[in-house]
A and B are shown apart, each in its own frame.
Chain A
């Protein structure tokens, strides 16, 4: 039941949209992933903005004098601090989970996008059979198989190194791009934190998360890595357009605080 709902409401529309975009973009699956990711980001923009606003409100509150007083007054009494902070949340009309709901709503979209990319590039007979069964009648079957080559990558396979004969060792270029854009995105879109612990956490994440994504990019199909790069660049662009980019954090070597 859940499988059927998921497949019919999320996955199939995404796969078929991806195929149609591919058809209009000169049978270039790399371009199709980039445009498809951009469209999805635009559709989910209201959720993203809501999440962003909610986080800003929360941060403002955490920097407020009253918040600091609560922490100072009840130092050592964690339960009491939390109780008072919850009270403050209620009084201010801010939900501590306000940033989470839009995030949770985006989960199915992200998962669907990932699955749509992998489903559109079957690498075994069963996957090809699944794909042929889920194509809408108005999508030409002649699109199959998709051309999975984009620049020097095969998007259906994990990235292999580039130009080993030139440098004497291979360069996983797409993985490096994922790590670099993830790092930039984190640094540029993380607002200054109100407390040292938060700043420390942000700093740690800005260091290790890009490598985690790099690991994903290197291990999964290269199409997914292309999605990561696209979504990172779009996030930075979106923040820049809204004037929210934290340039200080990017230039600072001492972290985001």
Chain B
């Protein structure tokens, strides 16, 4: 019996509906891309940038020294800025839950630490945060809420701390204490030698970045639109300064001021003592980065690619430049340059003179070797 091409099979409807939806959803906006937030960190004479499937070492002239791995490995993505120890060792984390110690000279792995059996997803093993170095210990927070204490020379697991919620930022270190922020609203003080909790405090909103530590005060921005001062010894909230938008990055501190931006595009300078606003400007673009301070200037990167230097004394703009793409991760300072990681066809790293803002160089990795 012949069936007309116009006769739609009845059961097809119920199947086509979600199936086509899935196909279209894959093409439509809303996917969670993991390669558009490159992180950069600075060593003594070089920079390390995590992007895509590689870690790139670049000298202060913008020339590539090495990349790890030499050939890209499937299902391994780097975007958290690597940690650099005093002896130069580089510690990179892959999103899929892997920690790798890389020799700064050869660019080869010295050890790697699997936080899971390999695949991300198993046992909440993804890693979003950069690791942090505390003496001989490497601290690695995971998306599953655990902070690993790893012997940074051997890669052996020493101990771990079980926090609550997702840990997306490296702990801040002050002496024998690590201060760890959780997206699940909690700020922890953890004893480094035992991995035990000293205190914890619920700040009421998600904390996306590690706290800035200044004179016994922890400064934590929360996505619920505040910057909060917390007593580092006891974990008591000292003050809370409301902002217009969520605060993603950590403040930079100089001359008794804490300077930071929010996602609504405001820049604030607060009095460290009580959190009152000293000055505020509204450039209008989201800030997700922590500012850096160089020679009396505070430099902020914006989501629209703007890089602005404010003079801390005059509270005016010293210079502003525009990078080739969005600046989402923290800028770093090295050799008189301020360097930002961006995702664009023109550059992965861009260096600007920290005093004048003049562009110094761009680095874009060759597609393949």
Nearest 4 pairs of A and B residues by beta carbon? A110-B21, A96-B6, A115-B30, A141-B224
Q: What is the minimal beta-carbon distance from B206 to any residue of chain A, in angstroms? A: 5
Contact A142 B11 (CB under 8 A): no
Q: Closest CB of chain A to B309's CB: distance in Å? A: 24
B11 & A160 in contact (Cβ 8 Å cutoff): no
Instruction: Establish whether residues B288 and A107, one from each chain, have CB atoms under 8 Å apart when the complex forms.
Output: no
Shortest C-beta distance, B178 to chain A (Å), equals 21
User: Residues on B close to A: CB < 8 A?
Assistant: 1-22, 24-25, 28-34, 36-37, 79, 95, 120-122, 124, 126, 128, 143, 165-166, 168, 183-185, 204-206, 208, 223-225, 246, 248, 263, 286, 288, 328
Could you pull out 9 A-B pairs where Cβ atoms are within 8 angstroms?
A85-B6, A107-B20, A107-B21, A115-B29, A125-B128, A133-B286, A142-B185, A186-B15, A198-B9
Query: Are A99 and B13 in touch, CB under 8 angstroms?
Result: yes
Count of A-B contacts judged by CB separation below 8 Å: 172
Distance between A5 CB and nearest chain B CB, rounded to angstroms: 11
Could you tell me the dominant secondary structure of chain B's interface residues? loop
Closest to A86 in B: B6
Among A82, A115, A185, A206, the residue within 8 A (CB) of B5 is: A82
Q: Is A142's CB under 8 angstroms from B1's CB?
A: no
Given contacts A145-B165, A186-B14, contact A107 B206 (CB under 8 A): no
Tell me the smallest distance from the CB of B235 to a CB of chain A, in Å: 19
Cross-chain contact of B32 among A118, A158, A198, A213 (Cβ < 8 A):
A118
Contacts of B3 in A (CB 8 A): 195, 197-198
| CB interface residues, A 51-68, toward B, < 8 Å | 51, 55, 58-59, 62
Question: With a CB–CB cut-off of 8 A, which chain A residues contact B263?
Answer: 129, 132-133
* Given A118-B32, A133-B263, A185-B14; A145-B25 close (CB under 8 Å): no
A231 interfacial contact with B, CB 8 Å: yes
**Are B208's CB and A213's CB within 8 A?**
no
Residues in A99-113 with C-beta less than 8 Å from chain B: 99-100, 103, 106-107, 110-111
Q: How far is the CA of A190 from the CA of B30 in the complex (A)?
A: 33
Q: Give which listed residue, A71, A119, A191, contacts B30 with CB less than 8 A.
A: A119
